[in-house]
Structure 1
Amino acid sequence: MSRVLNVAVVGCGIGRSHIVEGYLPNTDKFRVVALCDLDEARLDRLGEEFGVERRVVDFDDLLAMDDIDVIDICTPPGVHYAMVTEALRAGKHVVCEKPLVGSLEEVDAIMALEKSAKGLLMPVFQYRFGDGIEQAKTIIDAGIAGKPYCGTVETMWRREAPYYAVPWRGKWKTELGGVLMGHAIHPHDIFTYLMGDVARIFGRVATRVNPIEVEDTISASLEMRSGALASLTATLGSVDEITRIRLQFENVTIESDHSPYNPGRELWKILPRNDEIKARIDKLLANWRHVPSRFQTQMARFHDAINGKGELPVTSADSRRALELVTAFYHSSSTHTEVVLPLGPDHPLYQSWVPVEFR
């Protein structure tokens, strides 16, 4: 039987969701034994709520704790790179919220460090998990969907002044971007997870909703490596909130549940082209086993990976693909040109997509 791993959560904002959705449903796999946050009042509130007695404000204190197996980084994006690097060098397993780091150069450095690290690194893309998305992925991977034709992703969310009252939000230095980085990155990851790599992008970003440094509205036209075409649109100025992913293949149309923050939870709309395709799908999914959504499944599969019982559910390579799309998006918008992927060290934004005046 695999042992229960001791976890330290760094950052008591989204870190609370990691505890509630990820660790508490997996108490046979994980135990949260330490918390870290610069805000001592928030640190104490979370510690009292979940009975975690070990509370520190200095990240280095966690690195020195020999009984900590996993460090879960839930801090603002601007400090992810340093924390991930230090935790891996300390021999810890690492979970890190999106975005993993702030440039392609940094993600490549992290991937190089992983090769000699004792622990495993798992970036967070919790929207990938749940019955809806996993059934779609199963149908595609089985070859039933056939040739991909086109797809659309709409990330229509709402963020107003109270959201940006948090000091690090809406700023290039700390958030590293806007709707493209902190919000639509999830549906865009789902899209490439299902449709494959992007070959070319023409994108535009704009700040139209809020008085902030970063963008809150985006749109792009994509050509996929497969030849399929796609469009991505997102805003933080929607009246209602939906996340809608619609994919058209040769044999099926697939459309996500429209829940903005948990699109994998409910079953997706799967429309087969004919009765033969429907029969193949029905047979494939006949003995389907429920997949809990979001952090619950991602953390459970992380535990399996640590114990050699499966692959990492999300990898640094997945984060690189997401950040490569972000980099290409910003470059296309600023230059008004189409950008060809993949991007390497010779790309002008390889070291940072953040505008020079905000670095």
Structure 2
Amino acid sequence: MSSDIKTVAVVGCGIGRSHIVEGYLPNADRYKVVALCDLNIERMNTLGEEFGIERRLTDLNDVLAMDDIDIIDVCTPPGVHYEQVMAALQAGKHVVCEKPLVGSLREVDEVIEQEKVSRGKLMPIFQYRFGDGIEQVKAIIDAGLAGKPYIGTVETLWRREKKYYEVPWRGKWATELGGVLMAHAIHPHDIFTYLMGDISRLFGRTTTRVNDIEVEDCVSASIELQSGAVGSLTATLGSADEITRIRLAFENVTFESDHAPYNPGNKPWTILPRNDATQDAIRDLLQDWTHVPPRFTTQMARFHDALTGKADLPVTSADSRRSLEIVTAFYHSSATREDVDLPIGADHPRYKSWIPAEFETVRN
């Protein structure tokens, strides 16, 4: 096998299937999935038979002991991400991890420290960042054509009903670590900061109104950014239809995402220049545009570029920390009815955990 082809073990065969179908198979000249690991043997065998993956294990330690595996792809429930990511880094493996990376700011800081002494690289999953739509907007902003950011709104209006929560680990603090903030809106919120910049202050509310679950399923917040721009973040799992809508107003141009709920980065966004000069400059910038495949296809391709020294990591643990700061600020603001300043340091009362005290077990 070519040294440029990285071998992968997928740990968790639920969303792990999407990583294979969208991420590794389209990049077959870069990756080969050689092992699966899951406690659900029937599901693992089904996936193994579908893609001809012969090595199937139930113990992650057995996978980590295999010298011929380069990458551990963590696709397990959120409650076990921290221990699995740390074990994989300590074993010298490269790591891909589904969102949320870990379950507290303390844990993400410990992961960052472990990265500094580990041979392997870590890439959290934020696949919504990739595709023609969002990449064109990012190119316009990075070229300085958009100008000063004014205001932005994010609406994550999705639908989840009782059947969704029949999966035992969903809807529970101990295993899902949160609700709509963690499992759903975390992607559009990442897109917002990716394009608009860091948040400096958040005033938010969380509540549970749609399903009989422990965690929240409706949230809303008013935010200030370090640039001085303002915005709002709203999400629910009780919408009749499903859309993800991101609208960003800058000095010279306003952008609005495609409304596809699970792929807002793919199709071209609505781009509304304020004047002819900006319109001409944007047209010149994008006239020779090269297609960017969406979601996992491009994220995994760029991860390989990072592993082979051709580019920086497309998503970093610092990006995950930023997203988890938003989560932490939401929960703290909702509980205290106070604004929360970001960034959040080790002296914050929810640095170690945002889980309510009555559900807290092992994270203190």
Q: TM-score range by the shorter chain?
A: over 0.9
- The corresponding residue for 1:322 is 323
Q: Match for 1:143: what amino acid? A: G
Is residue 154 of structure 1 aligned with residue 116 of structure 2? no
Q: CA RMSD in A?
A: 0.7
Rounded to whole Å, the distance in 2 between the matches of 1:239 and 1:206 is 18
Partner of 1:45, secondary structure, is helix
| Residues 254 and 268 in structure 1, CA contact (< 8 A), matched pair in contact too | yes
Instruction: Map 1:54-69; keep pairs closer than 5 Å.
Output: 54-69=55-70
- The corresponding residue for 1:104 is 105
Partner of 2:294, secondary structure, is coil
Rounded to whole Å, the distance in 1 between the matches of 2:203 and 2:194 is 20
Partner of 2:162, secondary structure, is coil
* C-alpha displacement of 1:2: 5.8
| Residues 2 and 29 in structure 1, CA contact (< 8 A), matched pair in contact too | no
The sequence identity of aligned pairs, in percent, is 72
Rounded to whole Å, the distance in 2 between the matches of 1:285 and 1:311 is 23
What's the TM-score once normalised by structure 1's chain length?
Answer: 0.99
| Residues 203 and 218 in structure 1, CA contact (< 8 A), matched pair in contact too | yes
Moved beyond 4 Å, runs of 4+:
none
Is residue 73 of structure 1 aligned with residue 47 of structure 2? no
Partner of 2:69, secondary structure, is coil
* C-alpha displacement of 1:222: 0.2
- The corresponding residue for 1:337 is 338
- The corresponding residue for 1:220 is 221
Instruction: Map 1:20-59; keep pairs closer than 5 Å.
Output: 20-59=21-60
Rounded to whole Å, the distance in 1 between the matches of 2:139 and 2:117 is 33
Rounded to whole Å, the distance in 2 between the matches of 1:272 and 1:201 is 29
Instruction: Map 1:235-274; keep pairs closer than 5 Å.
Output: 235-274=236-275
Rounded to whole Å, the distance in 1 between the matches of 2:330 and 2:206 is 8
Gaps spanning 5+ residues in structure 2: where?
A: none
Partner of 1:115, secondary structure, is helix
* C-alpha displacement of 1:201: 0.4
* C-alpha displacement of 1:202: 0.2
| Residues 2 and 307 in structure 1, CA contact (< 8 A), matched pair in contact too | no
- The corresponding residue for 2:307 is 306
Q: Match for 2:236: what amino acid? A: T
Q: Deviations over 1:288-320 (max 9, x none)?
A: 100000000000000000000001000000000
- The corresponding residue for 1:179 is 180
Q: Match for 1:102: what amino acid? A: G
* C-alpha displacement of 1:356: 1.3
Rounded to whole Å, the distance in 2 between the matches of 1:177 and 1:41 is 28
Rounded to whole Å, the distance in 2 between the matches of 1:34 and 1:313 is 24
Rounded to whole Å, the distance in 2 between the matches of 1:102 and 1:180 is 12
Is residue 93 of structure 1 aligned with residue 115 of structure 2? no
Q: Deviations over 1:247-305 (max 9, x none)?
A: 00000000000000001110000000011100000111111100000000000000000
Partner of 2:66, secondary structure, is coil
Rounded to whole Å, the distance in 2 between the matches of 1:160 and 1:244 is 21
Q: Match for 2:61: what amino acid? A: D
* C-alpha displacement of 1:196: 0.4
* C-alpha displacement of 1:5: 0.6
Partner of 1:149, secondary structure, is strand
Count of residue pairs brought into register by the alignment: 359
Partner of 1:333, secondary structure, is helix
Q: Match for 2:317: what amino acid? A: S
| Residues 4 and 308 in structure 2, CA contact (< 8 A), matched pair in contact too | no
